[in-house]
Amino acid sequence: MQWSEAKAIVTGGASGLGLAVVERIVAAGGGAAILDLQDAPGQAAAARLGATVAYVHCDVTNENEVKSAVTAALGQLGGLNLVVNCAGVIGAGRAVGREGPMPGELFVKTVHINLIGTFFVDKTAAALMQKNPPSADGERGLLIHTSSVAAFEGQIGQVAYSATKAGVMGMVLPLAREFAQFGIRVMAIAPGIFMTPMASAMKPDVQASLAAQVPFPSRFGKPEEYALLVQSIFENPMLNGETIRLDGAIRMQPK
């Protein structure tokens, strides 16, 4: 598939990694729909990027809302051949902290947004993508999950987050095998430490400490580098059923 022909849904696309993907698609001449709960930033991004970008309010934990949003996005884009799942929360906290055990609601909320939300979007989009006319290779679309290095080396305090990021990675191969009959690929990207809105709010000394842990390049990843990998996956049809670490060779320590 050609990047200039991308017609994408990007969840969590109002900021951070998702917004960088939207910007890269638009720069190449493609179209994108931002699905997010951040109405003001999402609408502002759509207005700034032009007529090929739409903003659709969507809570990925609500199955009916996902169906409506994906259908609306398809209509506004005039097609759909890419989904990039960037919607997510950190859900930080120890299983047993100073104030006692973690509230079950925190763990459940993290699972609902990061894991179940990704599945809701995947299945809804795939049901529409399967109707696309195939490319020369028989390809009809691509689903990308955002995992994390925490799926491999979860730190203390990341039990909920790590579980969900391992979960979205674990869905990749079975979905890739199932959707092969439709010509729909499924991949995941596992970023390391990236300069997202959350990271930019950290104190400078904390940022410096984290950056020093990355072997090379010893800095935070840039959202544009995540978007570049999304493009590479989109353009290479042999990339399927796999998770790619994008982390500068970092291996996280226990804490």
pLDDT score at 210: 85
Q: Which of 119, 161, 182, 234 is catalytic?
A: 161
- 253 within a domain of the structure (yes/no): no
Is residue 24, in this structure, part of any structural domain at all?
yes
Q: Please give the pLDDT value at position 222.
A: 96
Q: Which position has the token pair 């051949």?
A: 81
Letter for the amino acid at 38? Q
Peptide bond into 215 cis (omega under 30): no
Domain-embedded: residue 252: no
pLDDT band for position 162 (cuts 50, 70, 90): very high
Q: Which domain holds residue 182?
A: 3-246
Asked, for residue 254, whether it belongs to a domain, the answer is: no
CATH of the domain at 192: 3.40.50.720
The answer to whether residue 255 is domain-embedded is: no
In total, how many domains does the chain have? 1
- The reply to whether 195 falls in a domain is yes
Establish if 179 belongs to a structural domain. yes
**Residue 197 to residues 15, 37, 223, 226, 230, Cα–Cα distance (Å):** 7, 15, 10, 15, 20
Average pLDDT value over all residues in the chain: 96
In one-letter notation, the amino acid at residue 105 is E
Is residue 104 scored above 90 in pLDDT?
yes
If pLDDT is split at 50, 70 and 90, which confidence band does 42 have? very high
Interval 192-221: pLDDT, tens: 999 988 777 778 887 888 899 999 999 999
pTM, full prediction = 0.95
Looking at the domain assignment, is residue 91 inside a domain? yes
55 has catalytic annotation: no
pLDDT of residue 74: 97
